[in-house]
A and B are shown apart, each in its own frame.
Chain A
């Protein structure tokens, strides 16, 4: 009886929805990396389909292929290529970090919760910074390679 009464009184679920995936608000760095990992993953999937279509153009003969390749050497596509590579580097390195962390490594052992709390996310933070430095290094190398050496 009380159960039924309570159910009637509850309002609609105040679910955050997809906003929870794309907006991290005042949460910490890991929540933002979670968004970036998803965005870069979706971007790479999208690129995979484009890539299959693009290599399929080779079947239409040499002229079509050369025209496509010429299109890819225009500045817009060079920038796209750079963004693609940056996304790939981030997704790969962050993914490696996540594989280790999700198997319980690099997080430290459980500790007694004595205030101020030192959480596993905090203990793990140096690895996040190391990953960002490494990603930055690879992206800088890619920028040098794509924008300075080739053009």
Chain B
């Protein structure tokens, strides 16, 4: 299945055979296949082809999609041997026959719709939110202070759209359903590396277990498959370093980021001119700069 070189000019309409996996939970015991002939113009995605099939060829086809621009993560499918987002996969780059199957390592709801429950269960189990002790968590008084360098430590992993593609690519999850999976582990690192967070210990304890992080042997498939460049493999290896450093008691750890100090009510010096009037009447900047 030779993929075409990037930048090759494609014109006209070619007919592509789309081999879709079919499964109806009430009548089928296992998945079958069905071929559809789809006219593919330049720029057509696999999702466009599925829309075409549903509109013109077979209304009974079930698939999941929403934003059709790689933001929502609904249309993760196993397309021609790799898990990818259907909306971001050019159909004419895949040759004359394109196979579309549901994501592996998930139960199938119907046709190419996977049940993402395993991912969601692991994701929610790792406390994917900023944890701060005390009153500040429930009744915040001000923002936390964070430098751009501290932001870059976790920002890449915050781009996860929870499409579940990395769990399909993972060879460990192929046999071990209890494994937390790349998505959840990457989110453990995303929140543990966040300087505003103070819940690291509980979160790391939840993955430093038999079916936790140490089942990852760096096959790199999750990172390769990730459609958003989130790089879960890197997050998992950095998380391993964090846990090892924690256990050995080495490495520098600063406490959670401080809350921004309250307004000091400073007075303007007479030799400094007053700020121009605020564009938004009554805005906070206007009040501060009044002498």
Binding site for B on A (CB under 8 A): 6, 8-21, 24-28, 30-31, 34, 37-38, 98, 101-104, 107-115, 117, 119-121
- Cβ–Cβ contact A104 & B240, under 8 A: yes
- Cβ–Cβ contact A102 & B240, under 8 A: yes
Does B241 have its Cβ within 8 Å of any Cβ on chain A? Answer: yes
Given A20-B175, A107-B234, A120-B233 in contact, is the A10-B220 Cβ separation under 8 Å?
no
Measured CB to CB, the closest approach of chain B to A102, in angstroms, equals 5
Q: Could you say which of B110, B157, B218, B234 contacts A98, with CB atoms under 8 Å apart? A: B218
- Cβ–Cβ contact A27 & B240, under 8 A: no
9 A-B residue pairings within 8 Å (CB atoms):
A9-B110, A10-B25, A11-B107, A24-B171, A38-B217, A110-B234, A111-B156, A112-B156, A114-B229
- Cβ–Cβ contact B238 & A104, under 8 A: yes
B234-250 Cβ-contact flags toward A at 8 Å (1 or 0): 11011011001000000
- Cβ–Cβ contact A110 & B237, under 8 A: no
Does B16 have its Cβ within 8 Å of any Cβ on chain A? Answer: no
Measured CB to CB, the closest approach of chain A to B62, in angstroms, equals 11
Chain A residues lying within 8 Å of B174, measured Cβ to Cβ, are 15-21
- Cβ–Cβ contact B241 & A103, under 8 A: yes
With A and B bound together, what is the CA distance between A16 and B103 in angstroms?
Answer: 10
With A and B bound together, what is the CA distance between A15 and B179 in angstroms?
Answer: 13
Binding site for A on B (CB under 8 A): 23, 25, 28, 30-31, 80-82, 102-110, 114-115, 117, 152-157, 159, 169-171, 173-175, 177, 216-221, 223-226, 228-231, 233-235, 237-238, 240-241, 244
- Cβ–Cβ contact B224 & A113, under 8 A: no
Chain A residues lying within 8 Å of B170, measured Cβ to Cβ, are 20
Which of B102, B156, B157, B159 has most A Cβ within 10 Å? B156
With A and B bound together, what is the CA distance between A18 and B224 in angstroms?
Answer: 20
- Cβ–Cβ contact B108 & A10, under 8 A: yes
- Cβ–Cβ contact B240 & A14, under 8 A: no
Measured CB to CB, the closest approach of chain B to A32, in angstroms, equals 9
- Cβ–Cβ contact A120 & B229, under 8 A: no
- 18 more CB-based (< 8 A) A-B contacts, given A34-B218, A34-B220: A10-B108, A11-B23, A11-B28, A12-B30, A13-B106, A13-B107, A16-B105, A16-B174, A18-B175, A30-B220, A30-B221, A109-B152, A115-B229, A117-B229, A119-B223, A119-B224, A120-B223, A120-B233
A117 to B, closest residue via Cβ? B229
With A and B bound together, what is the CA distance between A110 and B237 in angstroms?
Answer: 11
B156 to A, closest residue via Cβ? A110
With A and B bound together, what is the CA distance between A24 and B115 in angstroms?
Answer: 24
Measured CB to CB, the closest approach of chain A to B60, in angstroms, equals 15
Q: Could you say which of B82, B152, B177 contacts A13, with CB atoms under 8 Å apart? A: B177
- Cβ–Cβ contact B109 & A104, under 8 A: no
Measured CB to CB, the closest approach of chain A to B28, in angstroms, equals 8
With A and B bound together, what is the CA distance between A24 and B169 in angstroms?
Answer: 10
Chain A residues lying within 8 Å of B220, measured Cβ to Cβ, are 27-28, 30-31, 34, 121
Given A101-B237, A113-B228, A119-B229 in contact, is the A30-B218 Cβ separation under 8 Å?
yes
Chain A residues lying within 8 Å of B114, measured Cβ to Cβ, are 14
Given A10-B25, A30-B219, A98-B218 in contact, is the A113-B108 Cβ separation under 8 Å?
no
With A and B bound together, what is the CA distance between A17 and B152 in angstroms?
Answer: 37
- Cβ–Cβ contact B233 & A15, under 8 A: no
